[in-house]
Chains A and B, each alone.
Chain A
């Protein structure tokens, strides 16, 4: 698979300068790490190693601690997000109603695992906790769109809807 690597040369873009600004802005605050990670995630869409390294140096926090925080909070991501972010709810209600099978089907159709992005950068796949739409279980969200009461057979149609967009 020819995944685009955006953490090397192209990363030396103005976004890295922006990151410096973010770090400088928060540098002397107590508990600066979380706000910096939030803003960096907004800036880059995810938090690759290069970005974490820079934050580690800038805030003088060990890289491993930063990695620990990122992997602890689900809102942070180590992987780039696709243009369409697919989230499958694995909360109890959805799970009972078969969201696990729907997730499997999505994996199969897209050829990626949870936390990955398709080669064309279009779709990323995530499992998430209860989204508060249990009445619609099982639920899948694609960006802001919510799909409820799904069956495995619906998966293909839905993906196709976005494929050509």
Chain B
């Protein structure tokens, strides 16, 4: 890499030639405030929070887009720079709906933090404030345009990373807003509800639909038997909400917190992930043997499912008919478990703690109520759980270690790795290999590194007996598009895993939000995935078909994967969706 010499606030440093001034400053440990910037996602120089003085340049320059060059002299803290940043920020604040006290992003808001860091103690402009309606029609996402600072980070995420493009800047001048076409609700456009836009929004303009009230109410209702289940990705991220380092594993503290909140049973969605693997591998083997539709594509990511229904209806028959794990679990709890424990299923209230906003939408799908009751009653994101824990004044960091309840708390490492991209594939491979060959594979050779990691589309050819299984993994919907187009062009695979969120569930739309300052320099996807793979290695059982709870369920209830009962409770169907239905 070619290097250049630059001076930044009188310090002389050597940096790669392709750096921006912002990157060079970061390298020199000099902080420059930013607002619209998000490395790799939004580098458009729109907000001018990051201005610096460059020797010889006529005006102040935006550090986030200004390239370094040999001999460049940069000043990040001159009076002109400070004044300019302050005016910029005051102008943004002047027409901002400054209701920090009741805003979900208070404490994690980048705008609030800037105001504090730039020592803003008065706003010298009377901004014209106007009140726009809230869009809260979607079961997953709430948009509050009055809090939007027009940084366009969500737009880039939705359009360039997810390649969905249902939000954009519209109108002009003072009226400019971020909205959908015809200012429709996100509920009426092909939004996948992935929530990735929320995780990049610096302020409270985008947030999840808060369902904590419903859970408090259920917990207070003596007539209800409230069971909670938690997805694998939650345990490697929840700690961040309580100040722990990224990648902390807090499984046992999380269970303790859920007990204190008053849930009757605390179960592990991973148990159902193991069940999913049993059903899905059975489906895969069946399709390969009997000439069924291939590739089989995974169905555990509801954001991906909705994306497919809107944009690729030709692939609906490729989708596994398996419900996503937490939905399977809900159905099992209201049938098998209810019978076994003698609980009236109408009294069972299932709460899923998920890293995902799309699962809120999924839980509302009418077809996901095999027992006559919704499989899952409420979905809470990791962030909402943290809010409940804070509201209940639980000292999370000092909680004792507690473990999931039996019998539905038993899970395998295969169920855990569902939380990272490639995990469903790997879990399926662990089981498929043994089921097809009938031979046991030692634990030291069950890790499939070719499907791990953050590369957008991963491919692998795996020898299983006489079969060479061709597999592909895509994460993030933009990558999903690339892979699907490849398949349409004739590329052949047996098995394909798609997750809507970049990095998979560990980086889901319901996970703790990290500011640009952190996200731009630390890869959340790999840090949290590391914790997932560590958790897998710490488990006694690491293959789904060896999970004793799952074996028991088949013995006592489902008989075998793909049985009639399994189909009734564990499988579902999909339908094409109109992208922009004409409404009058």
Whether B181 pairs with A66 at a CB distance below 8 angstroms is yes
The docked-state distance in angstroms from the alpha carbon of A71 to that of B171 is 5
Whether B580 pairs with A62 at a CB distance below 8 angstroms is no
| B-contact bits for A57-97, CB 8 A (1 contact / 0 none) | 00000111111100111000010000000000000000000
**Which residues of the partner chain A approach B182 to less than 8 Å between Cβ atoms?**
49, 67, 78
Interface bracket on B: 10 to 19
Pick from B160-168, B281-289, B425-433 the stretch touching chain A: B160-168
The docked-state distance in angstroms from the alpha carbon of A78 to that of B183 is 12
Whether B582 pairs with A67 at a CB distance below 8 angstroms is no
The docked-state distance in angstroms from the alpha carbon of A65 to that of B189 is 13
Which residues of A, 5-37, contact B by the 8 Å Cβ criterion? 8
**Which residues of the partner chain B approach A66 to less than 8 Å between Cβ atoms?**
181
The docked-state distance in angstroms from the alpha carbon of A30 to that of B164 is 21
**Which residues of the partner chain B approach A49 to less than 8 Å between Cβ atoms?**
181-182, 580, 582
**Which residues of the partner chain A approach B579 to less than 8 Å between Cβ atoms?**
53, 63
Which of B159, B180, B182 gathers most chain A CB within 10 Å?
B182
Given contacts A49-B182, A52-B181, contact A64 B582 (CB under 8 A): no
Closest to A72 in B: B172
Whether B171 pairs with A64 at a CB distance below 8 angstroms is no
Given contacts A64-B189, A65-B159, contact A71 B582 (CB under 8 A): no
Whether B171 pairs with A62 at a CB distance below 8 angstroms is no
Whether A67 pairs with B181 at a CB distance below 8 angstroms is yes
Whether A64 pairs with B172 at a CB distance below 8 angstroms is no
The docked-state distance in angstroms from the alpha carbon of A53 to that of B169 is 18
The docked-state distance in angstroms from the alpha carbon of A130 to that of B582 is 36
B170 close to A (CB within 8 Å): yes
**Which residues of the partner chain B approach A64 to less than 8 Å between Cβ atoms?**
165-168, 170, 179-181, 189
Whole-angstrom distance between the Cβ of B312 and the nearest chain A Cβ = 14
Given contacts A52-B181, A62-B159, A62-B165, contact A67 B170 (CB under 8 A): yes
Whole-angstrom distance between the Cβ of A47 and the nearest chain B Cβ = 11
Closest to A62 in B: B165
Closest to A65 in B: B168
Whole-angstrom distance between the Cβ of B196 and the nearest chain A Cβ = 15
Whether B580 pairs with A63 at a CB distance below 8 angstroms is yes
Whole-angstrom distance between the Cβ of A119 and the nearest chain B Cβ = 17
Contact of B172 among A52, A71, A78 (CB under 8 A): A71
Contact of B165 among A52, A53, A65, A72 (CB under 8 A): A65
**Which residues of the partner chain A approach B580 to less than 8 Å between Cβ atoms?**
49, 53, 63
Whole-angstrom distance between the Cβ of A138 and the nearest chain B Cβ = 21
The docked-state distance in angstroms from the alpha carbon of A8 to that of B167 is 25
Whole-angstrom distance between the Cβ of B336 and the nearest chain A Cβ = 44
Interface size on A, residues (CB 8 A): 15
**Which residues of the partner chain B approach A8 to less than 8 Å between Cβ atoms?**
582
The docked-state distance in angstroms from the alpha carbon of A64 to that of B582 is 15
**Which residues of the partner chain B approach A53 to less than 8 Å between Cβ atoms?**
579-580
The docked-state distance in angstroms from the alpha carbon of A68 to that of B167 is 9
**Which residues of the partner chain A approach B168 to less than 8 Å between Cβ atoms?**
62, 64-65, 67-68
Closest to B583 in A: A49
The docked-state distance in angstroms from the alpha carbon of A71 to that of B177 is 11
**Which residues of the partner chain B approach A68 to less than 8 Å between Cβ atoms?**
168-170
Whether B166 pairs with A62 at a CB distance below 8 angstroms is yes
Whole-angstrom distance between the Cβ of B578 and the nearest chain A Cβ = 11
Whether B166 pairs with A72 at a CB distance below 8 angstroms is no
**Which residues of the partner chain B approach A62 to less than 8 Å between Cβ atoms?**
159, 164-166, 168
Whole-angstrom distance between the Cβ of A55 and the nearest chain B Cβ = 12
Whole-angstrom distance between the Cβ of B39 and the nearest chain A Cβ = 23
Whole-angstrom distance between the Cβ of A2 and the nearest chain B Cβ = 14
Which residues of B, 569-584, contact A by the 8 Å Cβ criterion? 579-580, 582
Which of A62, A64, A72 gathers most chain B CB within 10 Å?
A64
Contact of A72 among B171, B180, B189 (CB under 8 A): B171
The docked-state distance in angstroms from the alpha carbon of A67 to that of B180 is 8
The docked-state distance in angstroms from the alpha carbon of A68 to that of B179 is 9
Which residues of A, 37-63, contact B by the 8 Å Cβ criterion? 49, 52-53, 62-63
Whole-angstrom distance between the Cβ of A5 and the nearest chain B Cβ = 8
Which of A8, A49, A78 gathers most chain B CB within 10 Å?
A49
Closest to A78 in B: B182
**Which residues of the partner chain A approach B165 to less than 8 Å between Cβ atoms?**
62-65
Whole-angstrom distance between the Cβ of A13 and the nearest chain B Cβ = 17
Whole-angstrom distance between the Cβ of B313 and the nearest chain A Cβ = 14
**Which residues of the partner chain B approach A65 to less than 8 Å between Cβ atoms?**
159, 165, 168
The docked-state distance in angstroms from the alpha carbon of A52 to that of B182 is 11
The docked-state distance in angstroms from the alpha carbon of A94 to that of B189 is 40
**Which residues of the partner chain A approach B189 to less than 8 Å between Cβ atoms?**
63-64
Which of A52, A62, A73, A78 gathers most chain B CB within 10 Å?
A62
| A-contact bits for B176-195, CB 8 A (1 contact / 0 none) | 00011110000001000000
Whole-angstrom distance between the Cβ of B173 and the nearest chain A Cβ = 9
Closest to B173 in A: A72
The docked-state distance in angstroms from the alpha carbon of A97 to that of B172 is 25
Whole-angstrom distance between the Cβ of B166 and the nearest chain A Cβ = 5
Which residues of A, 136-153, contact B by the 8 Å Cβ criterion? none
Whole-angstrom distance between the Cβ of A56 and the nearest chain B Cβ = 9
Closest to B189 in A: A64
Closest to A50 in B: B582
The docked-state distance in angstroms from the alpha carbon of A27 to that of B169 is 24
The docked-state distance in angstroms from the alpha carbon of A72 to that of B159 is 18
The docked-state distance in angstroms from the alpha carbon of A62 to that of B156 is 12
**Which residues of the partner chain A approach B582 to less than 8 Å between Cβ atoms?**
8, 49
Which residues of B, 179-238, contact A by the 8 Å Cβ criterion? 179-182, 189
Whole-angstrom distance between the Cβ of B185 and the nearest chain A Cβ = 13
The docked-state distance in angstroms from the alpha carbon of A65 to that of B579 is 15
**Which residues of the partner chain A approach B171 to less than 8 Å between Cβ atoms?**
71-72
Whether B159 pairs with A71 at a CB distance below 8 angstroms is no
Whole-angstrom distance between the Cβ of A78 and the nearest chain B Cβ = 8
Whole-angstrom distance between the Cβ of A4 and the nearest chain B Cβ = 14
Whether A71 pairs with B170 at a CB distance below 8 angstroms is yes
Given contacts A63-B580, A64-B165, A64-B189, contact A72 B170 (CB under 8 A): yes
**A residues in contact (CB < 8 Å) with B:** 8, 49, 52-53, 62-68, 71-73, 78
Q: A53-B580, A65-B159 are in contact. List 4 more A-B contacts (CB 8 A).
A: A49-B182, A64-B166, A71-B172, A78-B182
**Closest 4 A-B residue pairs measured CB to CB?**
A62-B165, A67-B181, A68-B168, A64-B168
6 A-B pairs within 8 Å (CB atoms) are namely A53-B580, A64-B166, A65-B165, A68-B168, A71-B170, A71-B172
